């Protein structure tokens, strides 16, 4: 397929940096935006999500937006409100004003973080499970999914909300054996979300085809996503170091893990 111009917000961040490297091979031409300068990318747009005029200019002429910008861990409500809730609203308004048809929204497993994790033969968690945010951060992702549904119902703007598990080069704890998404699978999923036809507002979980998966990937597969990785090759080492998840440990009881009990806080 022809390259599609995509605005990547949050391009200076961890996931943004991984996707800057991987998405061009899927045929996407990226325009970059972040509130911080993007290393090695002098043409990147440096703008805050609060700056509606800058956002309008940034989305002008793009086929789609991959919206990764925002606070990615727990913070104060005021900071989350400004960056994630108001910031996502400003992005959607700018996209609506400029006629952008598709947004891929970096939601998070923390929108449903207080959902008990499946054990034994329990069924996988469906995308239709009720929102159970585990933090103000997760609450902002629940809001983002509702915003996306509203812009579809009201204005016909399409969104794929990707409830990302943990997208890092390698899983670093036993919980991540269930929720990890390899960067290569992340690029496959974002590519599918950017290009699938007639998505309306679709919610998907974002992870690799992990042996210990907790949630249902069928809505992601329906977009054409075909994950190639499985965290299981890291399992023996991580379990030897950390032990299996402890059923009596509250940190291990829910999808959101320790975000439910002692959430890591954004440093800025």
Binding site for ligand NAI (CB under 6 A): 10, 12-16, 34-36, 48-49, 68-72, 83, 87, 106, 108, 164, 166-168
How far are the Cα atoms of 5, 28, 52, 65, 67 from residue 2, in angstroms, in the given order? Answer: 10, 8, 29, 17, 21
SS3 letters across 19-76 = HHHHHHHHCEEEEEEECCCCCCCCCCEECCCCCHHHHHHHHCCCCEEEECCCCCCECC
Distance CA 218, CA 32 (A): 30
10 contacts which partner out of ligand NAI, ligand 15L, none, CB within 5 to 8 A by kind?
ligand NAI
In the bound state with ligand NAI, the residue whose beta carbon lies nearer, of 25 and 265, is 265
In the bound state with ligand NAI, the residue whose beta carbon lies nearer, of 49 and 112, is 49
In the bound state with ligand NAI, the residue whose beta carbon lies nearer, of 40 and 120, is 40
In the bound complex, what is the minimum distance in angstroms from residue 140's beta carbon to ligand NAI? Answer: 8
Among all residues, which ones are annotated catalytic? 137
192 contacts which partner out of ligand 15L, ligand NAI, none, CB within 5 to 8 A by kind?
none
Work out whether the CA dihedral 134, 74, 106, 81 comes out positive or negative.
Answer: positive
Contacting residues toward ligand 15L, per CB under 6 A: 72-73, 108-110, 166
Total residue count of the chain as it appears in this document: 268
In the bound complex, what is the minimum distance in angstroms from residue 40's beta carbon to ligand 15L? Answer: 23
15 contacts which partner out of ligand NAI, ligand 15L, none, CB within 5 to 8 A by kind?
ligand NAI
135 contacts which partner out of ligand NAI, ligand 15L, none, CB within 5 to 8 A by kind?
none
Instruction: State the Cα torsion 117-159-183-249 to the nearest 10°.
Output: -20
């Amino acid at each position: 397929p022809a390259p599609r111009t995509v605005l990547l917000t949050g391009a200076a961040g961890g996931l943004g940096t991984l996707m800057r490297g991987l998405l061009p091979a899927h045929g996407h031409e990226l325009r970059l935006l972040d509130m911080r300068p993007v290393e090695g990318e002098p043409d990147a747009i440096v703008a805050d999500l609060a700056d509606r005029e800058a956002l309008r200019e940034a989305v002008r002429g793009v086929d789609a937006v991959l919206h990764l910008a925002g606070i990615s861990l727990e913070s104060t409500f005021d900071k989350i409100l400004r960056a994630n809730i108001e910031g996502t609203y400003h992005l959607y308004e700018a996209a609506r004003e400029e006629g952008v048809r598709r947004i891929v929204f970096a939601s998070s497993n923390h929108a449903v973080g207080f959902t008990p994790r499946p054990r034994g033969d329990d069924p996988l968690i469906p995308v239709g499970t009720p929102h159970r945010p585990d933090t103000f951060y997760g609450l902002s992702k629940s809001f983002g999914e509702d915003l996306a549904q509203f812009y579809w119902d009201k204005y016909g703007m399409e969104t794929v909300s990707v409830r990302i598990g943990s997208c890092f080069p390698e899983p670093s704890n036993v919980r991540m054996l269930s929720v990890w998404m390899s960067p290569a699978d992340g690029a496959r999923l974002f590519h599918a979300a950017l290009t699938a036809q007639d998505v309306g507002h679709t919610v998907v979980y974002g992870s690799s085809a992990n042996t210990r998966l907790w949630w249902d990937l069928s809505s992601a597969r329906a977009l054409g996503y075909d994950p190639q990785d499985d965290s299981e090759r890291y399992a023996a080492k991580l379990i030897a170091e950390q032990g299996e998840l402890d059923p009596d440990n509250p940190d291990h009881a829910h999808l959101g893990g320790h975000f439910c009990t002692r959430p890591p806080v954004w440093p800025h």
